[in-house]
Amino acid sequence: MHIPDGYLSPATCAALYGGAAPFWYAALRKSRKLLFTRMVPMISVFAAFSFVIMMFNIPIPGGTTAHAVGVGIASIVLGPWASILALSTALFIQAFFFGDGGVTTLGANCFNMAIVGSLVAWLVYRAVAGRSAITSSRRVVAASLAGYLAINGAALCAAIELGLQPHFFKNASGAPLYAPYPLSIAVPAIMIGHLTFVGLAELVITGGVVSYLQRANPALLRFTAPGVPMPQSKAQPAAMESAWRAARPLWTAVGLLLVLAPLGLLAAGKAWGEWSARDFQDPAARQQIARASGNVAPPAAVPTGLARLSSIWTAPFPDYSPPFVHAPAFGYILSAMFGIGVIILVAVAAGWLAARARPAPRTSARTEET
């Protein structure tokens, strides 16, 4: 679902950057107060969780792969606006450092996964959960459905964006300039895998984490359940914990995922629509592209716009493979550690800058005379 450079026209990229910008602005405005609270560690831990979970590739019939995003649980715990910031941070780091998603298409990827995903998850969760108790099983069902619909909403947006390219952007002979497959191929190719394997993975992840938090720290579910009473026996201890200590169990889970990250290398093949320009020239890769695209062969030549834009940015650690590491599994773990470290630094820096920008409290107009 990470659209690479070259698959969207410059006009489409600009439009989706423009579409994402108001949501980024609103997210920064609405999340500003959260940066003064214990939510700073939560924003960083869910950005890290999303970053790592996207490294676990799931094999899809047809020879392609896909991945969960973690947007459902991020939106449920943080709310939609902080979730947009957390997911956008993870996507930014993936694009610039690892080449997972393009820099020209970063606006599109953020719009699909961070913005659409967060808003869909939040709306579905609030609608289905209603005013049920924090520890109600209804909230687990609501979370599971929210995660499932969120990732499929994001996938549908990506499929439409890719599928529209050959309809509007082609050369004089009618050959596509960017993504080569129309809507009739792009939508089913992407959605079949997400409606089944990937959607179910997101469903289990979101519902499972909510179920765990209901037992371990239900206070973390209160932000998106305004007005719902907290269990008295558990609300007070959670409120007394320090911010980073409260997030410690979640960081433990991220650490476990980090160690297991090389499992993501076991799934062979690339995600649909993420082939490189070289793949369009390789006979074996062309057969795989055709097999994953309804047995419709790709263009005989690399689309010219795709070839031109695909090399616009060279990531320092492409495909999570640092050039100085020869063991793929170790390089994958190092890449995950590096990404998580950058996320923590960004979160801490954002909290520090927000604290410095915070206006000083007004002093009383009436002071004692000395």
The DSSP secondary structure of 235-293, one letter per residue, reads HHHHHHS-HHHHTHHHHHHHHHHHHHGGGGGSS-S-BTT---TGGGG-HHHHHHHHHHT
Domain assignment of residue 129, yes or no: yes
Residue 133 pLDDT > 80: yes
Tell me what pLDDT residue 238 has. Answer: 43
Which amino acid is residue 55, in one-letter code?
A: M
Q: What is the pLDDT of residues 279-288, one digit of tens each?
A: 999 999 999 9
Distances (CA, A) of 79 to 107, 283, 298, 318: 21, 47, 41, 32
Q: What CATH code is carried by the domain that includes residue 322? A: 1.10.1760.20
Q: Could you tell me the two tokens for 230?
A: 């907290």
Residue 368 pLDDT > 50: no
Residue 56 pLDDT > 80: yes
The DSSP secondary structure of 197-231, one letter per residue, reads IIHHHHHHHHHHHHHHHHHH-GGGGSTTSTTPPPP
Domain count, the chain: 1
Tell me what pLDDT residue 215 has. Answer: 92
CA distance 304 to 322: 29
Tell me what pLDDT residue 40 has. Answer: 77
Tell me what pLDDT residue 41 has. Answer: 81
pTM recorded for the entire structure: 0.92
Q: Which residue has the higher pLDDT, 235 or 225?
A: 225
Tell me what pLDDT residue 370 has. Answer: 44
Domain assignment of residue 370, yes or no: no
Per-residue DSSP letter, 296 = P
Domain assignment of residue 273, yes or no: yes
Cβ-in-10-Å burial (0-12, 13-18, 19+) of 39 comes to buried
Domain assignment of residue 366, yes or no: no
Q: What is the pLDDT of residues 156-205, one digit of tens each?
A: 999 999 999 999 999 999 999 999 999 999 999 999 999 999 999 999 99
3-state secondary structure of 37: coil
CA distance 211 to 223: 16
Exposure string over 180-215, b if 16+ CB within 10 A, otherwise e? bbbeebbbebbbebbbebbbbbbbebbbebbbebbe
Domain assignment of residue 365, yes or no: no
Residue 237 pLDDT > 60: no
Domain assignment of residue 368, yes or no: no
CA distance 221 to 217: 8
Tell me what pLDDT residue 353 has. Answer: 73
Which amino acid is residue 122, in one-letter code?
A: W
Domain assignment of residue 186, yes or no: yes
Which pLDDT band holds residue 244 (cuts at 50, 70, 90)?
Answer: low
Tell me what pLDDT residue 365 has. Answer: 46
Tell me what pLDDT residue 91 has. Answer: 98
Q: Could you tell me the two tokens for 128?
A: 């289905």
Q: What angle do CA 116, 183, 149 make, to 5 degrees?
A: 30
CA distance 349 to 328: 31
Residue 1 pLDDT > 50: yes
Domain of residue 44: give its range.
10-357
Residue 74 pLDDT > 90: yes
Domain assignment of residue 184, yes or no: yes
